[in-house]
């Protein structure tokens, strides 16, 4: 029997804005940050770790929300928590006073995700399995019990979800074998930041191709002339067949998106991502219809399963991009993956930031083993920043995510990194200029 004895929420920030890593049309100078949660147990070997990704200011608000919600799991027995994880998830989203501040979206919803993801990390470590494996070895009934079907049962019922999972049951072992042999296909956004000049963009593109990536994504949406110039140069470099995608990070209005995307049809884009406001489901549907055959992708700001349900119902997306820390944790992402399977839309997770690659790969691998199986429409985002801060950094080989081996969910950071980048008292933040080597 293991008991939760303490909970620590920490504000950890990395000074990425100094390099313009992560810059796009909406987010000019992000400092990649983690509102980090560690569950302490009476077993000194066992912690549950998770984080919510933010991009700098406001990380303290996210930490505060986690501190408020984490109290509800203090003192829990971890075995009991595992068998009641569905009820715990429902309870975290049901505090009527806190619910007023979001209704399944925003800071408190992401805080619920932090608490749930830390529990899942703990469950996986206790069972000495990486999270993808733990999920892939759970019965359809256990998985369905982890999902809150409230507000999505008009699109997916528990019995439909069980049927979907049962369908893949006979193939799980072979799927797992294939995952371990081949990994999952990754794509990279590393060359595509808007703050990079053309020379750096093209150099990084060549490097990406040399290291085995078969799809590269570029930020866009600041000016149509810039987009056309950048895409022309990329096409000249990679040829007409290589797959390229672009990402507008929500900068356009609906009509502007349609006009803009249609001016880029000649570049044969694999997808256009986040064309407009993430909550505008009807807008996405209108855009998708008007720019066909260019596929629309979205989801990194998809606040919850209800948004994804509507995007699927109204055909607002052709590629669904779940995120590990935007929604209420593993539980809600199980719902999201099941919804996508029902509508036969590929889940191509969003990653990058800090820790998102490490975390979301587990959900994609669970999807590949136990939900939609292996198929060539799946590709998982990869960005080559900040992996060195994790106990098990992502392992990308020849453009494929290799399956993580260590027990847990991938979120655990090195203690030395947490100490150094703790805001504002860590060694880095006490004297940022000296620490960055800036004179
Ligand atoms: Mg994006």
Smallest CA-to-CA distance from 107 within 154, 155, 182, 54 is with 54
Q: Would the pLDDT of 153 be above 50?
A: yes
Q: 175 and 121, same structural domain?
A: no
For 413, residues 6+ apart whose C-beta sits below 8 A from its C-beta are: 12, 34, 36, 49, 51, 355, 389, 390, 391
Q: Which of 109, 125, 219, 362 is catalytic?
A: 219
pLDDT of residue 18: 81
Residue matched to tokens 């150099």: 203
Question: How does residue 22 score in pLDDT terms, banded at 50, 70 and 90?
Answer: low
* Residue 25 binned pLDDT confidence (cut-offs 50, 70, 90): confident
Look at residue 145 and tell me if it is in a domain: no
Mark whether 332 and 422 lie in a shared domain. Answer: no
Task: Please indicate, yes or no, if residue 98 is contained in any of the structural domains.
Answer: yes
Same domain flag for 113 and 180 = no
Number of domains in the chain: 2
* 308 or 437, which is more confident: 308
Residue 73: give its domain's CATH number: 3.30.390.10
Based on the fold, state whether residues 365 and 406 are members of the same structural domain: yes
137 occurs within a structural domain: no
pLDDT tens digit sequence for 105-134: 999 999 999 999 999 999 999 999 999 999
The domain spanning residue 328 has which CATH number?
Answer: 3.20.20.120
* Owning domain of residue 269: 170-414
Is the domain of 319 the same as that of 424? no
pLDDT tens-digit readout, 215-270? 999 999 999 999 999 999 999 999 999 999 999 999 999 999 999 999 999 999 99
**Residue 76 forms part of a structural domain:** yes
Q: Is residue 15 part of a domain?
A: yes
| CA 92 – ligand 1 centroid, Å | 28
Same domain for 368 and 263 = yes
Residue 407 counted as domain residue: yes
Indicate whether 210 and 345 sit together in one domain.
yes
Say if residue 393 is in the same domain as residue 272: yes
Options 105, 350, 362, 389, the catalytic residue: 350
**300 Cα: distance to centroid of ligand 1 (angstroms):** 6
Active site residue 350: yes
How far, in Å, is the centroid of ligand 1 from the Cα of 80? 37
User: In residues, how long is the chain?
Assistant: 439
Considering only CA atoms, give the Rg of the chain: 21
What is the residue-averaged pLDDT of the chain? 96
Residues 364 and 423 occupy one common structural domain: no
Distance 250 CA to ligand 1 centre (A): 9
**Whether residues 406 and 421 fall in one domain:** no
pLDDT-derived band of residue 437, with 50, 70 and 90 as boundaries? low
Query: With contact defined as beta carbons under 8 Å apart, do 356 and 410 qualify?
Result: no
pLDDT at 17: 85
Instruction: Let me know whether 180 and 320 are in one domain.
Output: yes
Distance CA 184, CA 94 (A): 36
- For residue range 400-436, what is the model confidence (pLDDT) as tens digits? 999 999 999 999 999 999 999 999 999 999 988 777 7
Cα dist. 225→238, 260, 264 in Å? 20, 10, 11
Are 331 and 432 contained in the same domain? no
What average pLDDT score do residues 85-104 get?
Answer: 95
Is there a catalytic annotation at residue 125? no
How far apart are the CA of 51 and the centre of ligand 1, in A? 19
Q: Is the pLDDT of residue 438 over 80?
A: no
pLDDT band for position 362 (50/70/90)? Answer: very high
pLDDT tens digits for range 46-91: 999 999 999 999 999 999 999 999 999 999 999 999 999 999 999 9
Q: How far is the CA of 76 from the centre of ligand 1 (A)?
A: 37
**Distance, CA 15 to ligand 1 centroid (Å)?**
20
């Amino acid at each position: 029997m293991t008991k939760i004895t303490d909970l620590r929420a920490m504000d950890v920030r990395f000074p990425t804005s100094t390099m313009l890593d992560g810059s796009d049309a909406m987010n000019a100078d992000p400092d990649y940050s983690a509102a980090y949660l560690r569950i302490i147990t009476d077993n000194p070997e066992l912690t549950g770790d998770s984080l919510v990704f933010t991009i700098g200011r406001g990380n303290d608000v996210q930490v505060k929300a986690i501190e408020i919600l984490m109290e509800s799991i203090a003192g829990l027995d971890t075995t009991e928590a595992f068998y009641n994880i569905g009820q715990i998830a429902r309870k975290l989203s049901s505090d009527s006073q806190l619910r007023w501040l979001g209704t399944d979206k925003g800071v408190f919803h992401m805080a619920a995700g932090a608490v749930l993801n830390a529990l899942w990390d703990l469950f996986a470590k206790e069972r000495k399995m990486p999270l993808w494996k733990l999920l892939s070895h759970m019965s359809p009934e256990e998985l369905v019990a982890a999902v809150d079907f409230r507000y999505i049962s008009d699109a997916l019922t528990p019995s439909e979800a069980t049927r979907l999972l049962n369908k893949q049951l006979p193939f799980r072992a072979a799927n797992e074998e294939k995952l371990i042999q081949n990994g999952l296909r990754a794509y990279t956004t590393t060359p595509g930041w808007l703050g990079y000049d053309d020379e750096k963009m093209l150099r990084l593109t060549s490097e990406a191709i040399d290291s085995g990536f078969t799809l590269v994504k570029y930020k866009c949406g600041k000016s149509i002339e810039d987009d056309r110039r950048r895409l022309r140069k990329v096409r000249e470099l990679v040829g007409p067949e290589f797959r390229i995608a672009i990402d507008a990070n929500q900068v356009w209005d609906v009509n502007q998106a349609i006009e803009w995307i249609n001016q880029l049809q000649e570049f044969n884009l694999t997808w256009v991502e986040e064309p407009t406001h993430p909550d505008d489901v009807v807008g996405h549907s209108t855009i998708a219809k008007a720019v066909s055959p260019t596929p629309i992708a979205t989801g990194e700001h998809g606040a919850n399963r209800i948004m994804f349900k509507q995007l699927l119902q109204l055909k607002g997306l052709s590629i669904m991009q779940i995120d590990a820390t935007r929604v209420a944790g593993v539980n809600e992402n199980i719902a999201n993956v099941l919804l996508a399977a029902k509508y036969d839309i590929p889940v191509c997770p969003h990653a990058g930031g800090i820790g998102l690659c490490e975390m979301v790969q587990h959900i994609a691998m669970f999807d590949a083993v136990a939900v939609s199986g292996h198929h060539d429409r799946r590709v998982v985002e990869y960005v080559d920043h900040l992996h060195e801060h994790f106990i098990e950094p992502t392992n990308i080989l020849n453009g494929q995510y290799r399956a993580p081996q260590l027990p847990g969910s991938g979120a655990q950071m090195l203690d030395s990194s947490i100490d150094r980048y703790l805001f504002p008292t860590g060694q880095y933040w006490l004297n940022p200029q000296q620490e960055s080597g800036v004179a």
